[in-house]
A and B are shown apart, each in its own frame.
Chain A
Amino acid sequence: MQYLVSVIEQFLPGGVREKETGSATASEAAAIDKFNDQLIAEGYWVFAGGLDSPSTATVIDNRGDELAFTDGPFLESKEHLGGFWIIEAPDLDVVLGLAAQGSKACNRRIEVRPFLSM
């Protein structure tokens, strides 16, 4: 069973990222690296990555006849997806335990969501 573990990035008024560049301070980055190593060692790791700021996003719409590109995020909000892990775990309790460590490591709130299993 796979879970998307999202990092909730908060934005200051005016849409400025709380932390200037990238997402994490040096000590946060070190803690995240350590946490990632642990995920790999324990066999939970599937994928992970940090995301650049929403202002670098482009929205693509090719539903109709004409392809359209739009600059910027599809949704303006105070909170954005700052990064994520995809974790393979047997059940929610395991993921919640890992996410608790992840939240500590990156010093941000985290959301856990199961992938749809068909």
Chain B
Amino acid sequence: MPDAQQAVTRAHRDEWARVVASLTKRFGDLDVAEEAAAEAFATAVARWPVAGVPPNRGAWLTTTAYRKAIDRIRRDQKRYDKQKEAQLLYDDEPPKPLGAIHDDRLRLIFTCCHPALAMDARVALTLRMVGGLTVPEIARAFVVQESTIGQRITRAKAKIKAARIPYRMPSTTDLPARVSGVLAVLFLVFNEGYLATGSDTDPVRNDLTAEAIRLTRLLRELMPQDGEAAGLLALMLLIEARRAARVSASGELVPLGEQDRGAWDAGLITEGHQLVRERLAAGVAPGRYQLLAAINAVHTSGRDIRDTDWSQVVALYDQLVRLDRSPIIALNRAIAVAEIDGPEVALGTVDHLAGTLAGYHAYHAARADLLRRLGRGQESRAAYDEAIELAGNTAESAYLTRRRDQLFRPGNAAAGALDAD
């Protein structure tokens, strides 16, 4: 019965985090919660096609998982006695007014993204416990061994238990830093999908971008007052909207200016723009993700790259530079400056970043493009060579290689004629 299969798939997407979160709260143990949730879904796979899909799937899954957990605990009573002592702590007090909804899933997210865990462990744990991805799925997505992901998760869970990382909302003073820690995890997952590294992998991994968006939507739903959660969601949507136009049929990266804007996802762009407007209307000083989203909103506003309001883009980057001293932000600002003040001015700024960005492919790619526009073909070629060498993404290397080779194609007046080669 395909309907029942679909119902399980859907329930997995919608209910997994809730089941794990509520079991973690009840039993104080991530291991028990994870295992019992997985067993409950396996039971649904077997039962629903035969017995029919229950009217309240979430309740059915939670109840089934509770029973599985209790079964397991009875089977393993001795272990449970120890476990009880090492139970995760959670706040029994009534929720403080922190946004509209107080949800166990939020505790789960904050626990999985705890700053005392290593970043790669936070990513793996969040995808497993909140996202419901299996260990093989996570391993495939990050192109690492299953055993590596398995160890990361096991080790993180052991540390949570031994060091007593609590299962509760962070204190009000810690909250902004903790939320930005969660956003960093989600953005890392998104970026890994969006600009996948590895020479023999797909240039874009839709499973990861989709999962990052889904989890960010969840966070936004749980923390509707948080401007940066909204900003990150808008940013992801506006980038995701351009996915189909971003890689050509031949597997080459297509830069923004050359993309077929008709192939952009109008629905995602509308949603992204709506979120950006909402944040502007809130009248609160925007954070990093909101500014990045606003920049992407400008980029996705015109029908043609020539319609881009570059002064608006530079103004937004000016704000961003004040919040984020990262040389990558400075690099992107310089690329926008080139559209207003010309490539020569931009190149001056970019060259100043050599010290920190010499190992970063985008730095060399930006230089190569500016040098090309200035007719300095030989230097441009050298910069393309460096960029290609450093680029980890197959579509990006393909694009850079073509641009480099175009420099020297006979009859290419724009650059080739000026070059001495």
Binding site for B on A (CB under 8 A): 1, 90-93, 96-97, 112-114, 116-117
Q: Is the CB of B162 within 8 A of A93?
A: no
Contact B86 A117 (CB under 8 A): yes
- Taking a contact as CB atoms under 8 Å apart, the answer to whether B116 and A90 are in contact is no
Partner of B85, one of A92, A96, A117: A117
**Which residue from B85, B89, B163, B170 sits with its C-beta under 8 Å from A114?**
B163
Which 4 interchain pairs have the tightest Cβ spacing? A91-B166, A91-B164, A114-B163, A92-B163
| B294 at interface, CB cutoff 8 A | no
Name the interface residues of B151-167: CB closer than 8 Å to any CB of A. Answer: 162-166
- Who on chain B is nearest to A3 by CB? B163
**Docked-complex contact B86 and A92, CB < 8 angstroms:** no
Residues of A within 8 A of B171 (CB): 93, 97
Shortest Cβ distance from residue A89 to the other chain B in the assembled complex, whole angstroms: 8
Give the docked Cα–Cα distance between A90 and B166 (Å).
9
Number of CB contacts from chain A to chain B under 8 A: 32
1/0 contact trace for B97-118 toward A, CB 8 Å? 0000000000000000011100
Residue among A90, A92, A112, A114 facing the most chain B CB atoms (10 A cut-off): A92
A93 touches B163 (CB 8 A): no
Whether the Cβ atoms of B162 and A114 lie closer than 8 Å is yes
Among A90, A91, A113, A117, find the residue whose CB has the most chain B CB atoms closer than 10 A.
A91
Q: List 27 A-B contacts (CB under 8 A).
A: A1-B164, A90-B89, A90-B164, A90-B166, A91-B89, A91-B164, A91-B165, A91-B166, A92-B114, A92-B116, A92-B163, A92-B165, A92-B166, A93-B165, A93-B166, A93-B170, A93-B171, A93-B174, A97-B171, A97-B174, A112-B163, A113-B163, A114-B164, A116-B162, A117-B85, A117-B86, A117-B162
Bound together, the chains give a CA A114 to CA B164 distance in angstroms of: 8
CA A93 to CA B117, docked complex, whole Å: 12
Number of interface residues of B (CB under 8 A): 14
Note all chain A residues with C-beta closer than 8 A to B165. 91-93
Chain B residues within 8 Å of A92, by CB: 114, 116, 163-166
> B residues within 8 A CB of A116?
162
Q: How far is the CA of A1 from the CA of B174 in the complex (A)?
A: 21
Beyond A90-B164, A91-B166, 7 additional contacts (C-beta under 8 Å) are A92-B114, A92-B165, A93-B170, A96-B115, A113-B163, A114-B164, A117-B86
In the complex, A117 Cα to B162 Cα: how many Å? 8
Q: How far, in angstroms, from A116 to B164 measured CA to CA in the complex?
A: 11
What is the bound-complex CA distance between A61 and B170, given in angstroms?
46
Q: How far is the CB of B32 from chain A (nearest CB, A)?
A: 18
A96 to B171, CA, bound (A): 12
Could you tell me the distance in whole angstroms from the C-beta of B90 to the nearest C-beta in chain A?
Answer: 10
Distance between B91 CB and nearest chain A CB, rounded to angstroms: 10
Contacting residues, chain A, for B162 (C-beta < 8 A) = 114, 116-117
In the bound complex, what is the Cα–Cα distance between A1 and B116 (angstroms)? 17
Q: Give CA–CA (A42, B327) in the complex, Å.
A: 43
8 Å CB interface, B290-337 against A: none
The docked-state distance in angstroms from the alpha carbon of A97 to that of B116 is 12
Q: Within the assembled complex, what's the spacing in Å between the Cα atoms of A63 and B61? A: 56
Assembly CA distance A53 to B390 (angstroms): 47
- Using CB atoms, name the residue of chain A closest to B115: A96
CA A113 – CA B116 in complex, angstroms? 11
Closest to B89 in A: A91
Q: Nearest-CB distance from B86 to chain A (Å)? A: 6
- Bound state CA distance, A90 and B163, in angstroms? 10
Cα of A26 to Cα of B391 in the assembled complex, Å: 52
Closest residue of chain A to B110 (Cβ to Cβ) is A93
A96-B164 in contact given A90-B89, A117-B86 (Cβ < 8 Å): no
Contacts of A97 in B (CB 8 A): 171, 174
User: Chain A's nearest CB lies how many Å from the CB of B358?
Assistant: 29
Given the complex, which residues of A lie within 8 Å of B86, measured CB to CB? 117
